[in-house]
Chain A
């Protein structure tokens, strides 16, 4: 069959498919809900559902065991971003107690091709990520909270996601595990 153009790069197309699909979803949510806060909440919930499944992919691919401490967790989360989004956020701003850190993103595939219109200033466009982290960590008996401190879409120079350790979920360990 004759070609009329350059070959398409499957990885790149897939990535754009994800980015554009996410964009279409956010647009649909903004259409469905009047309140931007509700959109943020819905994105977080969807992220949670994705996170509880993604953790299985992550563990299967990396073969990593339990985390020794929260610093170890931070590095694993970083490698998770590398595997799934192809980016390496930097880990910075550790709290003195070592229970909170920031992930700084220079680039973010989710926000490629995106500009926020003025009436969406309260929209946390990437809020799905906070849900993914919460869901994934919950599956390994850890409760974390995360939120955006800086956002490139709101003219900050980087996107900064703050992650805080809340508590260890003891009850969720199945019998016979320890």
Chain B
């Protein structure tokens, strides 16, 4: 974070590139907006984050179309997932996914020890905002699902948080 602040101060390229803090603030507003439209009588605090997920899907689908334009075809599913964990993730979130696990039967677990959208809420390892944190992941779940969909992989993506700011994305590929 600190490094970034210095970078932008010394070097302003006039190239129409948005600063990354803008995305974080915009994302926060989207979460607020979706929550503000929740019906008040929802049962046991269950929140409907579908709109966030579907916006993420649309973004993931489109961004993948642009990013992979000059790439050759991915060999297989694993290579596609690796592309997401390394290249896509580091461009979007300044770091790679820390750990990728798979059972080789269509289940992939992407583990990020310090997910960008979670790093600014609460102290590390505190459980203060654990209940609210899933709201911040719905968009990214959709983004992953959309990215994969554009590369021909239909999937279900869910997220899991045990301690902030670390989280796991579970990708379940749908076989037909």
Contacts and interface: CB of A to CB of B under 8 A. Distances in A.
Interface of A: 1, 4-25, 27-28, 32, 42, 46, 49-50, 53-54, 57, 60-62, 82-88, 107-109, 112-113
Contact of A15 (B17, B27, B29, B79): B17
Interface residues of B, number: 51
Interface stretch (B83-91, B102-110, B122-130, B168-176): B83-91
Interface string B18-34: 11111101111110110
A13 B21 contact: no
25 contacts: A5-B71, A6-B71, A7-B87, A8-B67, A8-B88, A10-B94, A14-B17, A14-B18, A14-B20, A14-B92, A17-B23, A18-B18, A18-B26, A19-B18, A24-B58, A24-B59, A42-B33, A46-B26, A50-B22, A50-B25, A54-B21, A62-B9, A86-B13, A86-B16, A86-B17
A109 B16 contact: yes
A34 B13 CA distance: 40
Given A20-B63, A87-B14, 19 more contacts: A4-B79, A8-B88, A10-B90, A14-B17, A17-B63, A18-B18, A18-B26, A19-B18, A23-B58, A25-B26, A42-B33, A46-B26, A46-B32, A54-B21, A82-B14, A83-B12, A85-B18, A86-B13, A109-B18
B8 interface: yes
Q: Which 7 residue pairs across A and B have the least CB separation, nearest first?
A: A5-B71, A13-B91, A24-B55, A18-B18, A86-B17, A15-B17, A46-B29
A144 to B, nearest CB: 19
Given A10-B91, A13-B63, A61-B5, A84 B22 contact: yes
Contacts of B71: 4-6
Nearest to A9: B91
Interface of B: 5, 8-9, 12-23, 25-30, 32-33, 37, 51, 54-56, 58-59, 62-63, 66-68, 70-74, 79, 82-83, 86-88, 90-92, 94, 139
